[in-house]
Chains A and B, each alone.
Chain A
Amino acid sequence: MSWQKKFLQQLEDAEIFVKSTEISPFVELWQIDDKHWQRFAELTAENKFRWAAGWAEQSGVQFYVYACFEKSGNYILLCATVNVSKPELPSQATVYAAANRSERHSHDMFGIEFLNHPDPRCWMRHKAWGKRDYPLRHDFPVQGSPVEITPPDTDYHFIQSHGVGVYEIPVGPVHAGIIEPGHFRFQAVGELILNLEERLGYVHKGTEKIAEGRTPEGLAKLAGRVSGDTCVSHAWAACMAMEQAAGIEIPERAALIRGIFAERERIANHLGDIGAICNDVAFTFAFMQMMRIKELWCRTNYELFGHRSLMDKIIPGGVAVDISEVASKFILTDIKQLRAELADLIPAIDLNSSLEDRIYTAGYLSPETAAYFGTLGFVGRASGQDFDVRRDAPYAPYDSVAVKVAAEDQGDIASRFWIRYKEINASLKLIEQFIEQLAKLPEGDLVTHWQTPKTESYGLGIVDGWRGEIISYVRFGENNTIARFYPRDPSQLNWEALEKAVLNNIVPDFPVCNKSFNCSYSGCDL
């Protein structure tokens, strides 16, 4: 392809030499010199690559620094090496806004200095560890040296505003609703939001650190709890990475079951979100109806598979539970019922003018801003970011079906609302197709026999969760133990887009804007 040739030529002209290794059909590892770190990003930006993820890991006296780029379903995993004694390299956040918080995370956790970073404030670190302590370094003990009561983080410098009538609203970390903790700092004039700054990190639980030394099974359990509404997809991404490292293929049957579980998870969350968006504009009818059908959906999960949100059903090498013929029939009947419910509900909701009043044009995220922050999932797809891992970098079982991706560029709350509805329909069809394929397969193994991966082997799992692309990096140490785990939830990128989407909206519309994004706190704070 022509852009690839052009891109390689540009790299050569810039004297950036790349050592490339293929790690999966859609992913290549490119190793470059650390001094080219920023220049490389400039060239990828020029060629319209999306900045997808960034993390680091320690290997002896060196840090490997990673950045992941994507274009048309092709991923480049960029890697540079810096010394622990002087861990510096030029920032990519100057080129990609999406890299901003990720680099600050790597700084707080490893002490890597990203030179010329536009925002030198800490991000993940509040007061639970010292300014010169870096939890993910090998010499930092997992228990750390905490004081009895960790003081609140009071010296974070929020952007200040001045002028007549401008005031600040601090919100959180403990919110009024039943939601996760985080801090929002609004600057407003009258009802209008002038600026919003998010301060997250409150639910930082040391996920990356406590993953170290786990068994593959232990890591799958932990990954299922990176974000409790994304149990299936996070566990899938982590298992995919581990399976890649171990060099094993999961049984066809297991792949289909994983697909069914992931789509069931997507539907459950979308049903809940559609209801919750309506709730935030006081449309109780729709809220209660959607919660009702979500409950039925979760009960089916419980009856058939033993867990309402399908936690711990994805395990290394396959799945923990089969879908029998009887269960398949049950699922198909269930789908019919859900369709009938939605056929009643959606027109009733759609014909409601007070809902239209609140969700059309509110919380507008332009396609340009969405692209700028590398926005993912239904948030991106409502703002012209037509990307879906299932279609663009397909993995089993999605490689055997045509995945229809709903995309719009209206960019408002209504768009994010309707994309969810379209995705429910698409997912229902996918489940039917997978069940059809399942019926053709003979009963067989659900798990491929595990093989201890070589020391230092690694893998990159990329799946499309209900919030969008999840990237999970796993490296093995000795004796089948995990040396490094980094999960990148789509929320990490979508959070920053939310800051922009709420500008010039009224403060009372923040909850519904926020719900239309529904970013994960836990998946971002780790």
Chain B
Amino acid sequence: MQKSNVDIRSLQIGFGGLKVLENLNLNVEASEFLVLLGPSGCGKSTLLNAIAGLIDVRGGEIHIGGRDVTWAEPKDRGIAMVFQSYALYPRMSVRRNMSFGLSVAGTPRDEIERRVGEAARMLQLNSLLDRRPSELSGGQRQRVAIGRALVRHAGVYLFDEPLSNLDAQLRAELRVEIKRLHARLGATMIYVTHDQIEALTLADRIAVMQGGVIQQLDTPKKIYREPVNRFVASFVGSPAMNFIPGRIARDGETGFIAGANRLGLNGYAFRGLPTDAPAVLGIRPEHIELTASDDPSAVSARVEMVEPMGADTLIWCRLADNTAFSFRHDADAQVCVGDTLNVRFPAEALSLFDEISGQRL
């Protein structure tokens, strides 16, 4: 099975007067698992459909496995695709669903049999081969759809929100299955989702998209720890990152002023030279630490609400100037509503954003 890279060069896509993608560049390496993440309408599915050849492009080029396939038919691109609605052929058995593409392509019968058998074994579909799609559960249907993609031995596998129609538990199960599949096949996979957990768990790299533009393309860790702008910071992570408005002050040691509090920024890696300017401080709930009241960097906050989440507890607090934030603590925290806590915002875990442009400072 060959593994193709995908190279997208200044791609333009539009419908009528609407520009969906403009001058988009993206390079997916062979064997990479790339996730396109973004809210609905950000152009991620459009991009995937363009790679598949299911919509026409206005400009730019798409190369798969070193071949220019910008104007090639979907079947000639060396791709396979899994859809959100499964898109199984309702009048065919599971076996026929999986073998349809191969028989259309005129693959010899024993080769079809071998490949279907192989995919069925991999996805535990052996006992379901003679059923109709209507006789399967949602999870089974999506496994069949993945099997139908696998038998094509494609260079690139495209997934269009494959788990969005499933309930939470099945989604988690199938997510692991897809990850295992990628580890086993080492195939190139491009995966569209709006679920940031799926993106973080599956991806080698994530491309976070908004408004038809890739905001950030990086490893899940980098995306999570060092979001390049406020959009990425707020879209990735659950519970969401806290944002505290204030300003950067350079009176001697650089610090962040939020109301009556001053946070030291010693240890924060600024991208450029910090200037005195309004800014927004972002910090993830799990990076806020409890500390003693005599800690010079301590900030006192009043507990407003406690949300036990099983493994840990989310504590909602308010600062003296009424700024709200949440932080994560062990499940056995003895915290009650109305308590006053002393917390610390470690500078190395912070993200600072320009107030106007939203870009990381």
* B partners with A: no
